[in-house]
Amino acid sequence: MTGWLARAVANTALRGEEPRNRFARWTARWLSPTPTLPESRFQDAGEPFPRHWRRFPDPWPTIDPGRAEVQDTLATGIEELPTTWREVVIARDVLDRDAAEVSERIGLTPRQQRAILNRARAMLRERLARRLVPNGDP
């Protein structure tokens, strides 16, 4: 009797966990509740294409990534990142270290490391965009 009850409770609880379809289940693990870009960049539920860009990011002019202007912008941008984000982005992108090694050294799970890198890159991209297309949509 108790065994049956416990199983019933466990099953009910699991059913509550089941998102409505398969797709939502995978992505739930990959998406963070805190968005990487401000939600205002995307259309709301009432607009024609919810969750799609409200306005596309403006295209960049052809650039030489080594150009002083670009490098200066990046240097200031990196300077302003939170310490852990800076460590991750420098190790992964500047020093080209392996993801697993970086997670291990800083003491992050691979998922945390990836989330941080994604945010740090997005923030640096936005800085560059503001510099390269001064009056556009970054």
According to CB under 8 A, which residues from 1 to 30 bind other proteins? 12-13, 16-17, 19-24, 26-30
Helix (H, G, I), strand (E, B) or coil at 53: strand
135 makes contact with other proteins (CB under 8 A): no
Tell me whether residue 1 or residue 16 sits nearer to other proteins (CB atom).
Answer: 16
Q: Where does residue 116 rank: exposed (0-12), middle (13-18), buried (19+ CB within 10 A)?
A: buried
Interacting residues with other proteins between 58 and 117 (CB under 8 A): 59-60, 63, 65-66, 70-71, 74-75, 78, 80-85, 87, 89-91, 93-96, 99, 105-117
Closer residue to other proteins, CB minimum distance, 2 or 60: 60
Residues 6+ apart with CB under 8 A from 32: 115
